Structure 1
Amino acid sequence: MTLAAVLVLAAGTFAFRLAGPLLRDRVTIPDRTRDLLSRSATVLLVALVATSSLTRGQEFAGWSLPAGVLVGGLAAWRKAPFVVVVLLAAATTATLRYAGVR
């Protein structure tokens, strides 16, 4: 990537970030649009989790990784501390892999 491209991208990023505070009082977003944006962010996050936990490259990741994500998700839903969520997910995945479950 050339220096000019990096500078253009940096200037665009800076302008985009600066636009939020400058336009905060001038632009109002309807409640319906806010709700739609909130829901779309949730759907995007779920799609990202599903893609990263079910696939590895172009193949199915096996059953141990989705099981670990499921256990971690259940622990997070039950409001377990973050460290506990990560440890439960990792322990589940490691135990299943040790048992021979791919």
Structure 2
Amino acid sequence: MSAGVVVILVLAVGTYALRLVGPVLHGRVAIPERVTELASAGAVVLLVALAGTGALTEGGGFAGGARLGGVAVGVLLAWFRAPFVVVVLGAVGVTALSRAVGVA
């Protein structure tokens, strides 16, 4: 068996074991409220960081002002609880208009 197959099998068993731990230990282990809050906050921070880098970078560098403007408008519309379609169309529209007038 090649090393690659062994690595894949070990990762598969590990993944299955981690997924099995939740149902098996449910109700047996008490997680402190503070840990639950920190885990929830950590998930939000990671999601925002991933979205930010994906939206504002391209090819390892800054994606440009047009995309930054579109993302800013999208965030602003989402902040004011606009419908999702309006958020997406607003962001796309601002980005397209910015590029049309020459903003990189």
What fraction of aligned residue pairs are identical, expressed as a percent? 53
TM-score (norm 2): 0.84
SS of residue paired to 2:72: helix
One-letter amino acid matched to 1:19: V
Kindly state the Cα deviation for residue 83 of structure 1 after the two structures are TM-superposed: 2.2
Aligned pairs for 1:33-72 (under 5 A) are 33-72=35-74
Shift of 1:65: 0.9
Structure-to-structure mapping, 1:1-102, within 5 angstroms: 2-102=4-104
- Distance apart, 1:62 and its partner CA: 0.6
CA RMSD of aligned residues (A): 1.7
Q: Deviations over 1:16-72 (max 9, x none)?
A: 112112112111111111111121112212222222223222322111111111111
Q: Secondary structure of 1:25's partner?
A: coil
Which blocks of at least 5 consecutive residues in structure 2 are unaligned? none
In structure 1, C-alpha distance between the alignment counterparts of 2:76 and 2:4, rounded to whole Å: 46
Read off the aligned partner of 1:23 and give its amino acid letter.
L
In the TM superposition, structure 1's runs of 4+ consecutive aligned residues that sit over 4 Å from their partners are: none
TM-score, normalisation: structure 1: 0.85
